[in-house]
Amino acid sequence: MKKVLVIHGPNLNRLGTREPEIYGHQTLADIDSALVERGKAFGIEVESFQSNHEGAIVDKIQSAANYHGLIINPAAYTHTSIAIRDAILAIDFPVIEVHLSNIYKREPFRHHSMISDAVTGKIVGLGHHGYLLALEAVHGLIGR
Better-predicted residue by pLDDT, 16 or 31: 31
pLDDT at 25: 80
pLDDT at 104: 73
CB atoms closer than 10 angstroms to residue 122: 16
Determine the length of the chain. 144
**Residues that are catalytic:** 23, 99
pLDDT tens track for 20-67: 777 778 899 999 999 999 999 999 999 999 999 999 999 999 999 999
Q: ∠ CA(49), CA(69), CA(113), 5° rounding?
A: 75
The yes or no reply on domain 2-142 and CATH 3.40.50.9100 is yes
Q: What percent of the chain has pLDDT over 90?
A: 82
pLDDT tens track for 113-125: 999 999 999 999 9
Partnered with residue 97 across adjacent β-strands are: 72, 122
State in Å, rounded, how far the first CA of the chain is from the last one.
14
Q: What is the mean pLDDT of the chain?
A: 93
pLDDT at 144: 53
User: Is residue 108 scored above 70 in pLDDT?
Assistant: yes
CA dist 138 and 81 (Å) reads 23
Chain mean position to CA 60: 13
* For the chain, domain boundaries: 2-142
